[in-house]
Every structure is written in C-alpha cells, then in structure tokens.
Amino acid sequence: MGNMHRMILQKLNIAVMARVAIALFLATVLAQHVAVAAEKKVLKIAFRAAETGFDPQRIEDRYSVGICENFFDSLLTYDWLALPVKLVPQIVDKVPEGEEGGTRFTFHLKPGIFFADDPAFNGKRRELVAKDMEYAIKRFRDPVNRSPYSWLFEDKIVGFDEFVDAAKKNDKYDYDKPIEGIQVLDKYTISFKLRAPDYNFLYFFAMPIVVPVAREVIETYAADTMAHPVGTGPYILKEWVRRSKIVLERNPGYRGHVLNTQYANPDDPWDNDAVKALTGKRLPLIDRIEISPIEEEQPRFLAFMNREHDYIEETPFAFISQLLPLGKLAPAMLKRQVRVQRTEEPEITWDAFNMDDPIVGGYKPENVAFRRALILAHDRSQEVNIIRRGQASATMSPIPPGVVGYDPNFKAEDQEYNLPRAKALLDMFGYVDKDGDGWRDMPDGRPIILQFKYRANEQEGRQIAELWVKCMSAIGIRMTTVAVQFADLLKDRKVGKFQMSNLAWIADYPDGQNFLQLLYGPNTNISNDARFKLPEYDRLYSAALKLPDGPERSKLYREMNRLIVAYAPWRLGVNRTFSQFINPWVLGYKKHPILYTAFKYLDIDVPAQQASLEQ
C-alpha cells in the first residue's frame, strides 16, 4: 500500500507544482512587460559561430577579432563611410608616409588617450604610450602566445627574426631587450624599419589585433589573458560565458569619437542614414551589447524573425527566399519596415588540386589539360544558384571585389562550365576508357578514382562534394568523397595528404597580395595548400611585393591571375554576397567591408524597440 500512497502523493505534487509553475510563468511574463528599462540602449544580436577569446595577439577568428574592435583602438582604421576603403588615423596624428623607399614607417600617438580602468592599474588612470605598441608587436612572436598571426611580423622588421632566434637559444623571451627595427623615439612616437619595402605594412596597423596592450594587464592576468581585454576603445567586456554569451558595456572612461562624414557617398542611402542618425553626436551611443553565438541556422534566423534580436548579419542562405524573394524584400518584412543591406565579402572560395599528386598534379601539358577539363566539366552555375541560393557570384580571379588589385574586367573563360570542351580535352590527351569499365582512365592505362576531401558537419561542404561527384560522372570520371573532422582536414591539407579539397580565404587586409601569396611556391607547407610551384609566378610575386599600389603592380597581378587560370591549380569558386536584415529601430546601421562590427556607429530608437517587443 505504501507504493500507492506514494503515487497519490506524487500525483498531488504534480498538480501543485503545475499550478505553481503556471503562476510563476505568468509572473515572469508580467514582470517583463512592466520592467521596461527605458533609459538604457541595449542591442541584442547573434554571431554565427563561437568566439575564442579577446587577447588580440592570440586570436584569429573573425568573431573574436570583430569584438576586439570595440575593446581596443588600432593606430589606424578604415573610414566608416569611405568606399573603396580608406585608411585613416585612429589614435595617431596622421597616416604615416613610407620613408626610405617604403622601408620606414613612423607613428605619433595622440597624447591623453587612456586605457579603460582595471584593477591591474592599481586605481590609477593609465595613459597609452608608444611602448605599449612595441610590447604588443613583440607579443606576436612570443612562443607562449602561439599567435596565429605571427606570420605578419616574420621576415619583416629589421632585427626581429634575430631577436626571436636569440630568445629561442637563451630560452628566454626578453621583452626588455630592444629590437633594431622597432624604435620608441619618445613617449608617443614609434618607428618601424623594414627589411624590404612593403607598402601593405600600414594595413597591419588597421587590424583590430595589431593594437597596443598594457604590459601590466597582460602580466597580471597571464593565466587567462583571453578574458581580460583592457584597451582604449569604447567598450569593455562586462560578462563572458564562453561560447554562449558575450556582454559588452560602454567604457565610462572612453574619450568619445564622432562620425567623419567627409567621405560619405550622397547617393548611398545607408551613408545618408548613418549621417542623419549620428552627425553631431558623441559616439558610442549604445550602452550594452549582448551577443549570443548561435551556430545552428534555424534558431539564429527565427530569433531575428521573432524580434529577439535587433538585426541579423550574414543571414543563412537557406532562408534567404523567405526574406528576400528574387532579391526584393518580402511583404511581411516591408510591413515590419525591416531594411536589408547586401554586401560582397572580401573573400573567395576555391577547390584546390594537390599539384604534387600523381593524378591531378603536374605541370606538363597533359596534366594541365586534365585539371582544366575537370574545371570545365564543373557546373559552377549550380554552385551559385543551388548551393549558395543565388547569394554569390562566380569568381573570376583569386582577388575578390573590394580588395585592392581586383580587376572587374578579368574573365576566365576556362573556369566556366563547358561540357563539350571538357570532353574534347580529355579525349585529345588520351584520358579515355581503356579497360572497358565505363570510366575514363589515365593515358598510360592507370584507372582514375579521384578523391575529394571536405569538412564533416558542414552541409555546404557536402553539397560541394555532391556537385563534384555529379559533374565528374557526367564526363565519365569516378570520384569518391571523404568527410573529415576539421583538425584532420587542416593537417591533411598542410602536408599535402589530399587530392582535391575545398577552401576559403577572407582578407586579412584589403590587398590582392594577401590572396596571391596562397600560390607562392615558397609558401608550400605554410599557406600554399595546392603546393603550386611555378618559377614564373614566384618571380612575378616577388617583383610585385616591391611596388606600391599602381598600374605597374596591377599589371603584375593580372599576369599572375592569367598563370593561375592557365595552369589551373585551383578551380575558382564563388564570392559570397551576404544579406543583413535590420529592424527599423536600429539607426545608422551600415556594414563595413573590412571592419566586422558596427556597434561604435549605431543608435537605437528605444521607444520603437520597446513597442515592437510588446507586440
């Protein structure tokens, strides 16, 4: 009988609990409606991937770097409105000119800029000095930091490589030891001497990771610098639940900045909106920003649709026809006065052939013919229209739009789908079915079974693989695919343990050189995953490095592009176009081609935001 009593009690408990739960539920809902904090401007958004942390010299992913834009001030930055992008000073007096033939760059910090308050400063205000920049640059190559961007300063600054070698030998990375090419001339002046001319060097100082940091902060929080970003920027990190919640709040000690409208394009409605919303105001205006990384597409999309988030960036392609059928805003969105901004990202995707592979590699005419035939047989329009849902355009050269060196008139015909040409080329060079199994073989009779490696747990990668298999079977070539975990894929690519694989690259700085280096022979095992080694290409690359931007360099870039098309180490993929949907109460929104976040240049119409939430 005891059991029965217990059961009845449990039943009663459930009933009671249910009532309590309902009451609590109602109470919470009511409380939400009553407690409308009218005064605070709070922005809620999602990121499409998780961050790693906020130690600028230790991070690489664009989400973490994007958030760092708000904690730290880089010496230079991009003008918020200027297009094409324009370097402007941020915490220095002016953008330096390259001296000594493009090998010396000197920055003068503005005096009176202070770090955000932090216990590491012992209650004193800490002014930004040139030494902080020197310290930060040194951090890039400190092995402890294992900076993903240490390559920026390799073989670059006079004396730095020797400094690192000495540190390795002495087993001590001595920050107090000077480096010949990094001179702190006075409290606010720092000068860099380069080993060779490099006009892209200035772009480094607009990256949100090449930013001054305070040594005492880094040393105080040595065990976990990722969680203690202390900079001179407009926001501070208020709360951080790694991989699920990032809360930024206004830095109370921030000096403030204003929107420069000098380069605004009067024909661009977004520029006009930004000018209208922000002119004459002391920025930033948002008090608190709550960011949730949501990796799954459906909830990220629905959270915006439900007004749980203020805007959605990089809207999942799968849902685009819900919001933007045939490129026009859907009626429901028009009714909500949602606006859309579409931006072409400074990035490319491609499929690499392993040039050392006995089947797809090689530089002889028959090897080149084979790769070119595979590319011609690949129906890229399906990649654009079906896989990317029309939210992309076919890439014509390795340099994407929005990047210096991009040539809109460069069209590579042999990257376009042309089945007869593909078949003719294979027949011509003897890639025909020799053993009668219905599949083509190598000219010497070896069977061909291609293998395409892609990243597991990515629908897009799978679809790209699927498209390859389809297109290859249309010309009688057998292909298998292998899904591998991310770490394995990286390893396989790095050491050339793959035949074909898909990749992508986002600009670190807006110059074509950042992309062309991906095929530079000496970068094999470093970033040249295709293992492409063509002396002529390498010669052109080295020559271009020594030139400032101009027609002469553009000509070299064009020659390199032509070689890539002719020798086909890559099948060029697409340039993706992302759509940002913005709720009407978000004012001044604009997506910058290089800078990732817009928080510094945003305003919120709080009454409108509250009114919408109550709906």
Partner 1 sequence: MGAYVLRRLWQMIPTLAGVMLLIFVLFNWVGGDPALVLAGKITNKDQIENIRKQLGVDQPAYVQLGYFAFEVATGFTCTWKSYTDKAEPPKLDAKTPGSAADSATKAKANSGCQAVRSWATNEEVPKILTTRITPTLTIMIPVLILETLLGVILAIGVAYARGTLTDRMIMMICTVAMSVSFLVYIIVAQYIFGFQLGWFPVQGWSDSFWKNITYYAPLPIALAVFVGLAPALRLYRSFFLDEINNEYVRTARAKGVPEKTVMMKHVLRNAMIPILTNIGIALPGIFVGSFLLETFFSIPGLGREILVAVNRSDFPVIKAATVYLAMVTMIINLLVDVLYKAVDPRVTFK
Partner 2 sequence: MSAAFMNTPSTAPAAPLHQPSPGLWMLAWRRLKHDKVGMVSLAVVIIFLLMMVGSYTGLIAKNWSKEAGVSYANPSFMAGAENLEAVRTKADPNAIKIEPVDLSDIDPLAPRYKEWAERTAKIKTTETPRAETLPFGGDKWGRDVLQKAIKGAETSIFVGLFAALFAVFIGTTLGAISGYMGGKIGDLLEWFYNVFTSIPYILLILAFAAVFASSPQLAAYKGVPMVVAILAFTGWTGIYRLIRSEYIKHASREYVKAAQAIGASNSRRMFVHILPNVSHVCLVQLSQHVVQFIKAEVILSYLGLGVPVDSVSWGTMLAEAQSELVIGKWWQLAAAGISMAILVTAFSMLTDSLRDALDPKIK
Asked if 561 and 407 touch (Cβ cutoff 8 Å), the reply is: yes
From the list partner 2, partner 1, none, partner contacted by residue 24 (C-beta under 5 to 8 A by kind): partner 1
C-alpha atoms less than 13 angstroms from C-alpha of 368 in its C-beta half-sphere: 12
The letter for the amino acid at 161 is D
From the list partner 1, partner 2, none, partner contacted by residue 414 (C-beta under 5 to 8 A by kind): partner 2
Binding site for partner 2 (CB under 8 A): 297-298, 301-302, 316, 318-319, 321-322, 325-326, 363-365, 368-369, 372, 381-382, 385-386, 389-390, 408-414, 418-421, 423-425, 427-428, 455-459, 461-463, 465-466, 469-470, 480-485, 488, 536, 561-563, 565-567
Contact status: 502 vs partner 1 (CB under 8 A): no
DSSP 116: P
Which residue of 34, 38, 171, 326 would you call a contact of partner 1, by CB under 8 A? 171
Contact status: 186 vs partner 1 (CB under 8 A): no
Distance CA 169, CA 179 (A): 16
The letter for the amino acid at 308 is E
| Residue matched to tokens 């590579």 | 412
Considering only residues 509-528, where is the footprint of partner 1 by CB under 8 A?
A: 517, 523, 525-527
Kindly state the smallest distance separating residue 457's Cβ from partner 2, in Å: 4
**Could you tell me which stretch among 17-25, 71-79, 85-93, 100-108 binds partner 1 (CB under 8 A)?**
17-25
Which residue of 114, 410, 439, 505 would you call a contact of partner 1, by CB under 8 A? 505
Kindly state the smallest distance separating residue 191's Cβ from partner 2, in Å: 42
Considering only residues 287-326, where is the footprint of partner 1 by CB under 8 A?
A: 292, 294-296, 298-299, 302-303, 305-306, 308
Is the Cβ of residue 302 or residue 469 nearer to partner 1 in the bound state? Answer: 302
Kindly state the smallest distance separating residue 413's Cβ from partner 2, in Å: 3
Closest CA to 353 of 482, 501, 473, 515: 501
Kindly state the smallest distance separating residue 301's Cβ from partner 2, in Å: 7
Considering only residues 43-102, where is the footprint of partner 1 by CB under 8 A?
A: 50-53, 60
From the list partner 2, partner 1, none, partner contacted by residue 37 (C-beta under 5 to 8 A by kind): none
Considering only residues 443-472, where is the footprint of partner 1 by CB under 8 A?
A: 457
Distance CA 64, CA 61 (A): 6
For 333, list phi and psi in degrees, rounded to 5. Answer: -70, -40
The structure tokens listed for 60 are 């690489």
C-alpha angle 521-526-527 in degrees, rounded to nearest 5: 75
Is the Cβ of residue 427 or residue 552 nearer to partner 2 in the bound state? Answer: 427
Distance CA 102, CA 77 (A): 20
From the list partner 2, partner 1, none, partner contacted by residue 481 (C-beta under 5 to 8 A by kind): partner 2
Residues in the chain: 615
Largest CA distance in the chain: 96
Considering only residues 552-591, where is the footprint of partner 1 by CB under 8 A?
A: none
Kindly state the smallest distance separating residue 577's Cβ from partner 2, in Å: 13
Considering only residues 200-229, where is the footprint of partner 1 by CB under 8 A?
A: 215-216, 219-227
H/E segment holding residue 292: strand 288-293
Q: How far is CA 532 from the centre of its chain?
A: 24
Distance CA 373, CA 185 (A): 58
From the list partner 1, partner 2, none, partner contacted by residue 389 (C-beta under 5 to 8 A by kind): partner 2
The letter for the amino acid at 42 is V
Is the Cβ of residue 146 or residue 364 nearer to partner 2 in the bound state? Answer: 364
Per-residue exposure over 88-101, b if at least 16 CB sit within 10 Å of its own CB, e if not: bbbbbeebbebeee
From the list partner 2, partner 1, none, partner contacted by residue 260 (C-beta under 5 to 8 A by kind): none
Beta strands in 409-547 (DSSP E): 449-455, 478-484, 500-506
From the list partner 2, partner 1, none, partner contacted by residue 363 (C-beta under 5 to 8 A by kind): partner 2
Asked if 509 and 202 touch (Cβ cutoff 8 Å), the reply is: no
Kindly state the smallest distance separating residue 305's Cβ from partner 2, in Å: 9
Distance set, CA 311 to CA 46, 149, 250, 342 (Å): 8, 30, 20, 13
